[in-house]
Structure 1
Amino acid sequence: MVRSPLTPQQIAAGKRLGAFLREARGDRKPAEVAQAASISPETLRKIETGRLATPAFTTVAALAAVLEIPLDELARICVPELNLQRTG
């Protein structure tokens, strides 16, 4: 199966996600965060640099848990046009 090329919107969303995760990681070492999220440091690096614009949901969820970021916050970053509102 051949994957369709990413749209400019998907690429931009991946860059926003990566930048946000990098900022959220702060001074923590990439290897430490990657290990805690059960991903490779290379995968984390690709996400943070936007080279992996559409990581798997389980990867994003694991990083969100390790970095203590609500998933709805990441959704707003990735798809700001949805203007998601917090509930509860």
Structure 2
Amino acid sequence: MVITDIQTERQTILLNKPFKTALRTVTHAQSVIVRLSVDNGLCGWGEAVPTMMITGESIESIEAAICQTINLPPTEVSHF
């Protein structure tokens, strides 16, 4: 199988009520949705959720990791 297309979308979802911890209050959740297509017509979906205070990941670092992993320049990843 050969990757023929990859698309990403940033998503922000408002929480029904704030999530409070000793470190912060969160009112929304962000994620990156990924759609990957291959040459035999199959496609797969995935999601990555950044948690800067825990993992050190941001939306931007997740998108960069996707591009680095599949060896594509960011300009060749489309957004839906």
- Normalised by the length of structure 1, the TM-score is 0.28
Structure (1/2) with the larger strand percentage: 2
Give the number of the structure whose residues are more often helix, by fraction.
1
What TM-score results when the alignment is normalised by the length of structure 2?
A: 0.30
